[in-house]
Chain A
Amino acid sequence: MITAKKIRFIKFLMLYLILIALALLWIIPIFTLISTALKNKQDFYSGISLFALPDVLAWDNFTNAITQGRLLTYMKNDLIISGFKVPLGIFVESLAAFALTRLNIKHRTKWFVFFLIGMMLPMQTALVPINVVYNKLKLTNTYFGLFYVYVGFGISFGILILRGFMKGIPKDIDEAAYIDGCTKWQLYYRIIMPITKPAVATLMITDFLATWNEYLLASVIINDNAKKTVPVGLMTFVGEHGTDYGYLCAGVLISVIPVLVVYLAFQRYFVEGMAGAVKA
């Protein structure tokens, strides 16, 4: 008994040692980020090591990022775009996934594969065509223009996850609901969607992350400073101010807050909801 207990204890000790070693490696960039955000530009060149703190902590990096850096404007823009993209995308994707798993559609596998192909296409192919069309339709520098493209690029992954999850819901439920007089819409809205909640929560996290952090399309579609999103806005910190890293790192730290909030709010569904992707 004692030896078995000892072995278990040693196993746990090793597990924690491995975890702590990995965590120490993984924390380097985060440590750098925080340590830098608290220093003034002069501090770096006056020989203060990255591992030490200056006498006066440079909290004004944070206030500067917000006031001079217009970070709040960028965050507001990003929130508006994500606020439209995420719910609208999930709505459109879930309708399609519902049709593909529970309604009478011919060649449903072919349709699914057709939707899936979009996941493979690089955003680069969309850059030039969308630029041309948006210039004609006057959609450059509009919130709509950007989140419409984001919804398009999210469809493949959304359908993959939601379809995988909905396939696991027993078909008996549908029949019982139809017998009780449910319409297709009611079946979708009242019965299937509430069960699909874990997958929806997973998509909320991944979609919000992808939208909040997207750089390439945002940099091409938006060039009006007042409409820029966070990643594009952070890049202006690099140009405009000759890269003051303290200021930039403070900006990065502030910009991560909304994503952390969303992650923490939905994380208990995260692993479960991802199951929709791995049950092909």
Chain B
Amino acid sequence: MKGKKSIDWPAYLFMLPALIIYISVIVFPVFYSLYVSLHKWNGIGEMEFIGLSNYVKLITQDDIFLIAIKNNAIWIVLTVAFITAISLGFAVILNKQFKGRTFFRGFFYFPAVIAPIAVAIIWRWIYNPNIGFINEFFGAIGLDFKQNWISNPETSLYAIFIAALWQGIGQPMIIFLAGLQTVPVEVLEAATIDGAGSVRKFIHVTIPMMKETFIIVLATLIVAALKVFDVIQGLTGGGPNNSTQMLSTYMYSQTFKYANVGTGTAISVIMVLIMIFIIVPYVSFTAKED
């Protein structure tokens, strides 16, 4: 074997394929987007350098951009509050020993296997004001409660969130289940002997021991919430009247519908900046653990 001081080139060879693909697909586009965002460009013709104008316009003049920021913030809060809590609850229940556990795990995970765009289509049907499930159901139990759930700007964002929640529980639930397996049985037994009830055991033993799990769940959920696209695009496309516009859908329509590619890439660069800001604590935590 080689001495420790000389560089072990074959070791780097193992990393090389991942590195090449990663740089070409992830790293290069970020810088290229940054470059495009400093230009006025329709995607076909010549690029015209305009400095930070795209950013300045977005922040100072574009009301839809501000709506998108606000909606993304609401979406992140809803996701962190509800999806984390509910998926943890599911994981705790499905971690108990009982007959049919595997079935129920699979059952509640099932929505996560459907394409998000298809989930959006299903829910558009459920929310159909005339013959959708919800209004039919209220009709069937004798309540006159018909609503235009997704075409009403007041309710549409929350209506979409319900659809996202239905699908979004599966993945964090599995990660929480994996995390629950890492809590040593002996520690829980010791707590029982010390007279701790199951609620106290959960709060004072299980949750602290699942710190890593919480961090990865929160990090992935926040990232996903900032990127949310499919379910919005499929249900409302950002409407009605931009009331469900997100950074991702606005970026998409600016770039591909209105051919304001400079503005579109500027939005995507802003998304990266927000992401870095949110995610630095996570990365530094993961690095420290080493």
Chain A contacts to B: CB under 8 angstroms: 12, 15-16, 18-19, 22-23, 26, 28-33, 36, 44-45, 49-51, 92-93, 95-96, 98-100, 103-106, 108-113, 115-130, 132, 148-149, 151-153, 155-156, 159, 178, 184, 188, 206, 209, 212-213, 215-216, 220, 230-231, 234-235, 238, 245, 248-249, 252, 255-256, 259-260, 263-264, 267, 270-275, 277-280
Contact = CB atoms under 8 A, between A and B. Distances in A.
Contacts of B107: 23, 26
A279 B22 contact: no
5 contacts: A23-B108, A124-B252, A127-B268, A152-B25, A273-B178
A200 to B, nearest CB: 15
Contacts of B116: 213, 215, 231
Interface of B: 1, 4, 7-8, 10-12, 14-15, 17-19, 21-22, 24-26, 28-30, 32-33, 36, 43, 90, 93, 96, 98, 102, 104, 106-119, 121-123, 125-126, 131-133, 136, 140, 166, 171, 174-175, 177-179, 181-182, 210, 212-213, 215-216, 220, 223, 226-227, 229-230, 233-234, 247-248, 251-252, 255-256, 261, 264-265, 267-269, 271-272, 275-276, 279, 283, 285-287, 289-290
Contacts of A216: 229-230, 252
B19 A96 contact: yes
Query: Which 9 pairs, one residue from A and one from B, show the smallest C-beta to C-beta distance?
Result: A152-B25, A103-B11, A274-B178, A213-B115, A99-B14, A129-B29, A96-B18, A129-B32, A104-B8
A29 B111 contact: yes
A256 B10 CA distance: 42
Contacts of B264: 127-128
Q: Interface on chain B toward A: helix, strand, loop, or mixed SS?
A: helix
Most buried by A among B22, B220, B255: B22
A51 B252 contact: no
A275 B181 contact: yes
Contacts of B140: 49, 51
Contact of B18 (A119, A155, A209): A155
B39 to A, nearest CB: 11
